[in-house]
Structure 1
Amino acid sequence: MTGPHEQQAEGSWKQFKGKLKEAWGVLSDDDLDRYEGKLDQLAGHIQEKTGEARADVRRKLDKMAK
């Protein structure tokens, strides 16, 4: 059984995934699930898939996470 904090975190992650997929359409659900909670690794993965500069990707991720 999950408590209210776990449900809130899961809901937040689903919303965040939606934002990520809007920003970077090349990301799959599998990509995002693999890097859940690991923004630095996710930034590297996005950089590899898109060719964007890692610093730019990280800036966008940080802005979305706020």
Structure 2
Amino acid sequence: MNWDEVKGRWKQVKGDAKIQWGKLTDDELDQIEGNRDKLVGKLQEKYGKTREEAEKDVDSWNP
């Protein structure tokens, strides 16, 4: 799934994101709004990952 699709279906897939990355709050997921870069940034912040690690996690995620 490409990120245009994810952004369009964010309300449906954010539950999957919550399962995948449980440290993200509902408010943070609402703020992300399906934006890949925002998700990568939040993963770096919450999980202490490098940008490359966070991007790899996001790219391998299949909502």
Q: TM-score, normalised by structure 2?
A: 0.66
Runs of 4+ with deviation above 3 angstroms? none
SS of 2:33's equivalent in the other structure is: coil
Match of 2:11 among 11, 14, 17: 14
Specify every segment of 5 or more residues in structure 1 that has no aligned partner in the other structure, as ranges. Answer: 1-8
Question: 1:1-66 alignment to 2 at 5 Å?
Answer: 12-64=9-61
| Count of residue pairs brought into register by the alignment | 59
| Kept after mapping to 2: 8 A contact 1:43/1:54 | yes
| Kept after mapping to 2: 8 A contact 1:16/1:64 | no
| Kept after mapping to 1: 8 A contact 2:41/2:51 | yes
Which protein has greater RCO, CA pairs closer than 8 Å, 6+ apart? 2
**Pairwise CA distance, 1:20:** 1.5
State which structure, 1 or 2, has the greater radius of gyration over its C-alpha atoms: 1
Specify every segment of 5 or more residues in structure 2 that has no aligned partner in the other structure, as ranges. Answer: 1-5
